[in-house]
A and B are shown apart, each in its own frame.
Chain A
Amino acid sequence: MARLPAPGSVIVPDWHESTEGKEHLSSILRKNRRRVFGLLERPVLPPQVAADTASYKIFVSGKSGVGKTALVAKLAGLEVPVIHHETVGIQTTVVYWPAKLQASDRVVIFRFEFWDCGEAALKKFDHILPACKEKTDAFLFLFSFTDRSSFEDLPAQLSRVAGDVPNTVKMVIGSKFDQYMHTDVPERDLMAFRQAWELPLLRVKSVPGRRLADGRTLDGRAGLADVAHVLNGLGEHLWHQDQVAAGLVPGPQESSPDGGQG
């Protein structure tokens, strides 16, 4: 039985709202907007609060139109696409996220590198899937609450995309949760899926957040508050997986029969 970390057991959940957390968040904000970083840049913290960086590659997978590109944009604090345009080729997005570890009381800066690609490109070009999978630390499997077929496709996707990659984090993300009123995926089906697969599940709304006084620019802090649970959830499973790989905590194989959690 796979042992998943319980939510909040690895990362202090609401730390980003504390004084210390806010101080760290200022390294990824600039004038209340999210800062964007080039590949040669990284957040700079004052020397007294310096923290280590933990880098992870995350492949975002799912049917065309489920909201992969919108999710990544939302996590990065960028404008989410309103009109659906199939993503061309591969695009990667880097998101920095400071978080506090429960066990050591240390702060780490997560560097998530999201790999997003269009379904048509994936089918047309052979090089795309291997590049996305190479050395990936996590798979996000998206389905949309408004598209039942994207949910039913999950098992096939799990085996097609990640079947040959054990020991990586796999998470399921239900997108368009703001449209839950019109959902095609009732809670009982989700429960059944979770019991069968024992994968962590997150629900997201990738909709534009609050804007600053100018009415145009996205409010960086508000945007971060919207997605903190996703970033913490991701960080939690990735950090835990590293601990298991390093033999610091028991993993799936060593776990006692009664020790597993859903």
Chain B
Amino acid sequence: MAEESAAGAVHLLCLAASSGVPLFSRSSRGGAPSRQQLPFSIIGSLNGVHMFGQNLDVTLRSARTEDSAVVWKTFHDSITLIVLSSELGCAELRLERLLELVFGAMVLLVGLEELTKIRNVERLKKDLRATYGLIDSLLVDTELAGDLTQCVDCIIPTHGPLLQEALAGFAEEMGSVFASLVAGGRVVVGTEGWWRLGAPEAVLLPWLVGTLPFQAARDYPVYLPHGSPMVPHRLLTLTLLPGLELCVLCGPQPPLSQVEPQVLERWWQPLLEPLRACLALTPRGIPAGFPLHPDILGLLLLHLEQRRGLFTVDLGGEEGPSPSARRRLLRSFYVLVTATHFPPEEKAEEPGCPTGVPRACYVVCGAAAEGPQGRQDPGAGLRLVAVQAGPRRLLLLVSARSPTYALRGLATRTLHALTPLL
């Protein structure tokens, strides 16, 4: 399709930093995986200019042209990642976080030691093939936002406490403190220990589970990029219902063979209806009856201290842009407010900006921003509004019929209403 081929592409390159040997490259175009590869000469130049800077003690971090951006980053003096993006609104913030997460994904699946002490390049290349699925999912259109926000995508279940209790009991019987229920890459409930997982594994583990093909159960070796980059752990996943997986992170014990159907049934059969209800929550993320203003077409709510997020565009409102366009608008707006209006999340509570006082900003989308020629651009006039209060930040995508003077009030009230959820 003409429309698709006109859409931007993302190229990711991975090289051994010292030798410049390419280890792999992955690409996407128009939000879908693509086989297209950059010519070897371009790979060489992109790496060469970065190395040239390095020899002069200059770290080349990023470069832009009118319609594309390049970001370089070298990890542990051993692995260089380069991303080249011509996607609409490709921002350095997004690309830098992408590279961090890609490297995290590589550590998660092959371990830091193999990446920093490269003994056999061919062997490393072969082992890195196991990361392609996860990395590709970071380059294409997604329903999640954690790759960008560095917060764990969540679903707010109707029967949270019941599920929480069962999860805690089950985890204890398994001898692990790390357990969660994951639906479509989003965490429904997690044990206290699970929520203590550091970045990036807190985002990557549910993301990984969301990308793997259907299996009844798995015993999946993972390294934790933050918590245990050298010693592998085991991620056990148990598909309670298609689309709903119970995840347990553990050491050598217990073997997967010990998690018998009877054990699962004892804990989870009594909760079959609440579990089914979780599935009905994807992709909306919040209970159907939850009152939200009908002008709201999508929302991104982040709890910056707990590092959890709720990202949904399935709130009704048939008219207006498609779900993927709504997600794209909210993601770009997130980049904008994070880069310019609000301090980066890490510094959210710096002295001088009193918490509790909501701060806000909004933009109105221009006409024909990305609408196909000749048709009314469904994105024209849409409003995007952000408020921050204490540890919470809320971004809303609002219908064009909503008056701009009421946006801040709408956002503040919505944030207030959502506060008990996250």
Contact = CB atoms under 8 A, between A and B. Distances in A.
Interface residues of B, number: 34
Nearest to A118: B130
A39 B215 contact: no
B217 A78 contact: no
B241 A92 contact: no
Contact of B255 (A40, A92, A124, A127): A127
Interface string B211-233: 00111111111000000000010
A85 B129 contact: yes
B286 interface: no
Contact of B268 (A40, A85, A88, A94): A40
A161 interface: no
Contacts, number: 82
B60 to A, nearest CB: 34
A93 interface: yes
Nearest to A113: B216
B214 A40 contact: no
Contact of B217 (A92, A125, A132): A92
A242 B50 CA distance: 66
A88 B130 contact: yes
Q: Is the interface of B mostly helix, strand, loop or mixed?
A: mixed
B275 A40 contact: yes
B264 interface: yes
Nearest to A111: B261
Nearest to A94: B216
Most chain-B Cβ atoms within 10 A of its Cβ — which of A37, A38, A120, A130?
A38
Given A90-B219, A91-B215, A134 B130 contact: no
Contacts of A78: 213-214
Contacts of A38: 216, 239-242, 244
Nearest to A135: B257
Given A36-B214, A38-B242, A40-B272, A88 B220 contact: yes
Interface of A: 36-41, 55, 78-79, 85-86, 88-94, 113, 120-121, 124-125, 127-128, 130-132, 134-135
| The 7 A-B residue pairs with the shortest CB-CB distance in the complex, in nearest-first order | A38-B241, A90-B219, A131-B255, A134-B257, A89-B220, A91-B215, A92-B217
10 contacts: A37-B216, A39-B217, A55-B261, A86-B130, A89-B221, A92-B215, A92-B216, A113-B216, A131-B256, A134-B257
